[in-house]
Amino acid sequence: MKLGLVAVVLALGCGSKDSAPSAGSAAPVARPTVTDPIGFCARARNVMTGRRKCFPEDTSIKMGLDSIAELEAGAPAEPGPRRKVAAECAVMLDGMTRAEQPKNCPLDVTDAERKELADFLGAWYAQRTAAVVTGNADADAALTRLAALRDEACACKDLACAHAASAKIDKETTPLGSDAARSAASGMRDDVTRCRQKLTYGTP
């Protein structure tokens, strides 16, 4: 994930609290849905656009908008990879909802949208890859070890613990044999990345 972008996003709520939105009002537009989870990108873009009206001089907002456009343009059609891109936008949106909000530039997120965001991120962080049984004794043993190390990392309560557990996983070799074994091993490593992200950014 482009986690460095989250730091940019978190700064967007820290502008002058005396700033006011620019004059005039825009015509109402339909709010993005998340039936397709890429809708979280549209929601993050809408929030940033609202911030830009309040703080047009803030170049970091344009950087954030450009990054979201890049994510949306490159989002694959396959459900798994597409959900991963959506999670990047969801983490950015969550960061904006957590930042201190300027008094005269309210956050354009409804209670229902906050719940959808919390539910999506909760499921994303809780996702775990199963240790498939391939019939190859060496591959199955390797996957069992990886699953145990993954669970150890995801049980950590702080980043120091998670990094130490991740280091153990880095020493494990990728199981040879079937595509299913390699895919499961890759998924378990992705699980650990998500668990570290949860410790870093928390949950809604």
- pLDDT tens by residue, 56-81: 888 888 899 999 999 999 999 999 99
The amino acid that residue 184 corresponds to is A
CB 63 within 8 A of CB 9: no
The pTM of the full predicted model, rounded to 2 decimals, is 0.80
Average pLDDT over residues 22-40: 75
- Least confident segment among 44-48, 53-57, 76-80: 53-57
> Using 50, 70 and 90 to split pLDDT, how confident is the model at 181?
confident
Q: What is the pLDDT of residues 125-135, one digit of tens each?
A: 999 999 889 88
| Averaged pLDDT, 145-154 | 94
pLDDT at residue 19 greater than cutoff 90: no
pLDDT tens-digit profile of 82-127?
Answer: 999 999 999 999 988 888 777 788 888 999 999 999 999 999 999 9
Amino acid at 161: C
Diameter over CA atoms, the chain: 69
Q: Are 117 and 149 in contact (CB under 8 A)?
A: no
What rounded mean pLDDT belongs to the chain? 84
Q: Are 162 and 153 in contact (CB under 8 A)?
A: yes
Nearest partner of 48 among 99, 2, 122, judged by Cα = 99
C-beta of residue 99 within 8 angstroms of C-beta of residue 64: no
